[in-house]
């Protein structure tokens, strides 16, 4: 049995991490404005946010700055040439030690008094000094010369042998960091093992490039040489990517040195590895990887201002870190799709940038997954899209946001004064009659039953309330809730999608109103009809499911005439009260001509205004009321809207983006109230 321990919340415990509703609320405006879930999430990821515990989740901008600061610190602290200088300094110390031994040998021979010994010693010391004096200045030449040199100093000889073995191991590790297990010990068996692995790997790459079957297979290769590659690659591509990243780091390290240092260090590593047949295999692998991964930062030069020296493997490690930081910055700066973040190795990010950055990236990775788990979005053909639940949620949130700005005394309740048969519950009740909807009010029904039983003597009125007794219901006890009259209303919402709407910051408010009205009518007036028409150069019907993804059109033209034509066609299918609600910030500048083409002109031409007013008159003849909401109305737009109002006997509202929702919702609900009252009185 599992044991659980509960304690009082003290504010320090972490809980629930990311909340899908909170995330959805945070991206709502971007989602409404652009209609793209992926874009809205990327915007949130760019800026960062706080989770339900109030912890700051750093966004891409913060993380990119962390990357740049980490890179600046590396460049300000280190000197890649230091690896070359350290080797040169150690060789010089060994040479000095050998020269001191020669001097000491010469002094001992002179002090011995043995002339023959002195002559032989002077001859040997002279030859060795001459040999040392003829050593090349470059590192590779010195190492090669000293390999064939007979040291006088046993300590210097031992120290040189240790240096060569260490440099050979470092050279292997510099090129093949993944082969760290064998690089630390470069005995003949280990070197043969590495050489055979590289030969097999090169063969596989060349076979694949030629379209041949791999021999050995990747599985066989890993069975034999997997101990050299502790990264546990899943396939050949992953292994080659790891090696390419390391080889590119070495190439960048050499490119960042002076030409002289680069040439000497390259020759030194070739010299160290040539005698064990590793140099050719490594150069062969580097060539194959350059062809297979041309996008890696081969030969990229980086400038440094620090003075801290490191060994060859450590310097290569630093360049690999810099390359990974560059790669991470490139990915984050490009505003990746939310799903692409799953490919980032958080453990590697933790080692590069620290725990906070890794935790933030982990939080960003969870964003889209939380929304998918909540059923608000789903993956369709590689992109995130809203689900039906998400569509309803965004509409309801838009409605809630608009209602927050409305004072209660302006809206009041949604009921009407008269009651009757319908689906909307009223506040009072009535005795049940045959034919009434059986919306039973339990409290009043039970009260009626108790009163009846007291009156009939079944229950003693003075009986203590805590005493239990049966309650027997009778049909005359039933009391049901009254319901409001419901009336049907058909509305078409016309939304201006011309380029002026976003340019004047009117688009978001208009789209929120459309979403809010969709939620309001589907939730509270399900028998009503709401159609949506977007218009710019032309008009088009917009289905409710398409509304969240609707954006403005990158065209000029405000074609009210075509919008009114489509609205009339949609309303022709419905009976009862019919109305058009038009939201716009511009005068009519386009209309459909007889041949079906679009005529556009700014300022508005007489022909466009005339064609639009003709459609207004047709709406009048069909009993369709037009209510116009004009945003940031100029004098010309105000005059035109007033002309529509005079012809149609609708209403005009001159408003701003901040108050648009208030006006539209209040007007719609008040009209709905009046409609219900008129229907009741008419009945």
**Is residue 663 pLDDT above 50, yes or no?**
yes
pLDDT classification of 564: cutoffs 50, 70, 90: very high
622 and 527 in a common domain? yes
Above 60 in pLDDT, residue 484? no
Split into its structural domains, the chain has a count of 4
| Statement: residue 562 has pLDDT above 90 | yes
Would you say residue 467 has pLDDT above 60?
A: no
- CA–CA distance, 140 with 65 (Å, rounded to integer): 41
Mean pLDDT for the chain overall: 81
Taking residues 492-511, what's their average pLDDT?
A: 90
What's residue 595's pLDDT?
A: 93
Alpha carbon of 165 to those of 86, 147, 153, 169, 171: distances in Å?
A: 15, 12, 18, 6, 10
Pairing of β 383-386 and β 377-380: antiparallel
Q: What is the pLDDT of residues 67-111, one digit of tens each?
A: 999 999 988 988 888 778 888 899 999 999 999 999 999 899 888
Both 289 and 144 in a single domain? yes
Q: Which of 361, 386, 411 is the last residue of a domain?
A: 386
With a cut of 50, say whether residue 214 has pLDDT above it.
yes
Q: Give a yes or no: residue 519 inside a domain.
A: yes
pLDDT at 667 over 50: yes
Domain boundary among 286, 301, 316: 301
Percent of the chain clearing pLDDT 90 (strictly above): 21
Is pLDDT of 676 > 60?
A: no
Average pLDDT value for residue range 642-648 = 89
pLDDT for position 203:
92
Claim to verify: residue 631 and residue 545 sit in the same structural domain? yes
* pLDDT for residue 94: 93
Asked if residue 115 and residue 230 are part of one domain, the reply reads yes
Same domain membership, residue 333 and residue 264: no
Work out the pLDDT band at 50, boundaries 50, 70, 90.
confident
Digit-coded pLDDT (tens) for 520-550 = 787 777 788 999 999 999 999 999 888 888 8
Does 218 reside within a domain? yes
Q: Are residues 429 and 515 in the same domain?
A: no
**What is the pLDDT, as a whole number, of residue 468?**
63
The answer to whether position 402 is within a domain reads no
Cα separation of 642 and 115, whole Å? Answer: 128
Q: 17 in a domain, yes or no?
A: no
Q: Which two tokens stand for residue 65?
A: 């700055």
pLDDT at 295: 84
Task: Name the residue range of residue 49's domain.
Answer: 29-77+327-386
Residues 595 and 472 reside in one and the same domain: no
Residues contacting residue 8 through CB under 8 Å, at least 6 positions apart: none
Q: Same domain, yes or no, for 229 and 86? A: yes
- Average pLDDT of the segment spanning 31-53: 79
Sign for the CA dihedral angle at 313, 282, 182, 197 comes to: positive
pLDDT at 520: 79
- The enclosing domain of 574 has a CATH number of 3.40.50.410
Task: Determine the Cα–Cα distance for residues 411 and 660; give it in Å rounded to an integer.
Answer: 15
DSSP-assigned states of every residue in 216-283: S-HHHHHHHHGGG-TT--SSHHHHHHHHHHHHHHHHHHHHTS-HHHHHHHHHHHHHHHHTTT-HHHHH
In degrees rounded to 5, what are phi and psi of residue 203? -60, -45
Looking at the fold, whether 470 and 520 belong to one and the same domain comes out as no
Q: Is the pLDDT assigned to residue 460 strictly greater than 70? A: no
Is residue 86, in this structure, part of any structural domain at all? yes
Query: pLDDT at residue 184 above 90?
Result: no
CB 445 within 8 A of CB 478: yes
Please give the Cα distance from 629 to 306 (Å, whole number). 65
Which of 337, 361, 386 represents a domain boundary (last residue)?
Answer: 386
What percent of the chain is predicted at pLDDT more than 70?
83
- What average pLDDT does range 580-601 have in this prediction? 93
Task: Tell me if 255 is assigned to some domain.
Answer: yes
Task: Evaluate if residue 577 carries a pLDDT over 70.
Answer: yes
Q: Are residues 622 and 677 in the same domain?
A: yes
Residues 676 and 566 reside in one and the same domain? yes
Residue 14: band (very low, low, confident or very high) from pLDDT cuts 50, 70, 90: very low
Residue 70 belongs to a domain: yes
Would you say residue 412 lies in a domain?
Answer: no
Residues 206 and 354 in one domain: no
> pTM above 0.85?
no
Q: How confident is the model at residue 414 (pLDDT cuts 50, 70, 90)?
A: very low
């Amino acid at each position: 049995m599992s044991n659980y321990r509960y304690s009082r919340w003290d504010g320090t415990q972490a809980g629930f991490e990311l909340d899908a509703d909170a995330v959805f609320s945070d991206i709502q405006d971007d989602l409404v404005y652009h209609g793209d879930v992926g874009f809205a999430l990327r915007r949130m990821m760019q800026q960062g946010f706080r989770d339900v515990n109030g912890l700051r989740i750093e966004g891409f901008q913060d993380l990119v700055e962390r990357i740049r600061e980490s890179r600046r610190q590396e460049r300000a602290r280190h000197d890649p040439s230091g690896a070359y200088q350290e080797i040169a300094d150690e060789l010089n110390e060994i040479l000095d030690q050998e020269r001191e031994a020669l001097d000491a040998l010469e002094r001992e021979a002179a002090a011995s008094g043995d002339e023959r010994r002195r002559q032989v010693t002077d001859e040997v010391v002279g030859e060795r000094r001459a040999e040392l004096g003829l050593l090349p200045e470059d590192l590779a030449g010195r190492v090669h010369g000293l390999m064939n040199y007979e040291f006088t100093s046993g300590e210097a000889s031992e120290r040189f042998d240790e240096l060569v073995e260490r440099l050979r191991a470092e050279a292997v590790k510099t090129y093949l960091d993944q082969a760290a297990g064998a690089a630390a010990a470069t005995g003949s068996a280990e070197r043969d093992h590495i050489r055979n692995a590289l030969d097999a790997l090169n063969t596989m790459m060349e076979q694949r490039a030629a379209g041949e079957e791999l021999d050995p297979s990747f599985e066989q290769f890993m069975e034999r040489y997997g101990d050299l590659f502790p990264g546990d690659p899943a396939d050949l591509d992953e292994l080659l990517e790891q090696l390419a990243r390391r080889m590119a780091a070495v190439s960048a390290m050499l490119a960042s040195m002076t030409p002289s240092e680069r040439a000497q260090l390259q020759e030194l590593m070739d010299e160290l590895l040539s005698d064990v047949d590793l140099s050719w295999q490594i150069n062969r692998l580097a060539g194959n990887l350059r062809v297979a991964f041309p996008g890696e930062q081969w030969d990229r030069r980086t400038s440094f201002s620090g003075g801290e020296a490191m060994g060859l493997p450590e310097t290569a490690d630093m360049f690999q870190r810099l390359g990974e930081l560059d790669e991470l910055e490139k990915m984050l700066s490009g505003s990746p799709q939310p799903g692409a973040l799953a490919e980032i190795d958080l453990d590697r990010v933790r080692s590069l940038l620290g725990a906070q950055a890794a935790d933030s990236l982990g939080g960003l990775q969870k964003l889209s997954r939380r929304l998918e788990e909540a059923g608000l979005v789903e993956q369709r053909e590689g992109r995130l899209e809203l689900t039906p639940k998400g569509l309803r949620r965004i509409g309801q949130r838009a409605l809630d946001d608009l209602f927050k700005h409305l004072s209660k005394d302006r809206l009041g309740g949604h009921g009407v004064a008269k009651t009757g048969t319908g689906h909307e519950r009223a506040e009072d009740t009535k005795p049940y009659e045959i034919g009434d909807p059986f919306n039973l009010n339990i409290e009043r029904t039970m009260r009626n039953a108790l009163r009846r039983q007291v009156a009939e003597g079944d229950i003693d009125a003075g009986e203590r309330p805590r005493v239990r007794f049966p309650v027997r219901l009778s049909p005359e006890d039933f009391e049901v809730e009254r319901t409001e009259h419901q009336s049907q209303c058909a509305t078409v919402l016309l939304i201006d999608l011309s380029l002026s709407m976003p340019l004047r910051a009117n688009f978001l408010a208009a789209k929120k109103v459309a979403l809010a009205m969709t939620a309001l009518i589907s939730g509270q007036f399900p028998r009503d009809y709401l159609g949506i028409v977007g218009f710019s150069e032309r008009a088009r019907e917009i289905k409710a499911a398409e509304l969240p993804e609707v954006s403005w059109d990158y065209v000029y033209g405000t074609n009210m005439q075509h919008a009114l034509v489509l609205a009339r066609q949609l309303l022709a299918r419905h009976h009862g009260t019919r109305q058009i609600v038009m939201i716009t910030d511009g005068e009519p500048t386009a209309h459909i001509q007889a041949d079906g083409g679009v005529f556009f002109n700014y300022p508005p031409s007489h022909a466009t205004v005339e064609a639009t007013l003709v459609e207004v008159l047709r709406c009048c003849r069909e009993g369709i009321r037009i209510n116009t909401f004009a945003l940031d109305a100029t004098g010309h737009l105000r005059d035109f809207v007033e002309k529509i109002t005079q012809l149609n006997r609708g209403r005009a509202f001159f408003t701003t983006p901040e108050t648009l929702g208030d006006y539209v919702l209040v007007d719609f609900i008040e009209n709905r109230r009046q409609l219900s009252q008129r229907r009741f009185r008419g009945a």
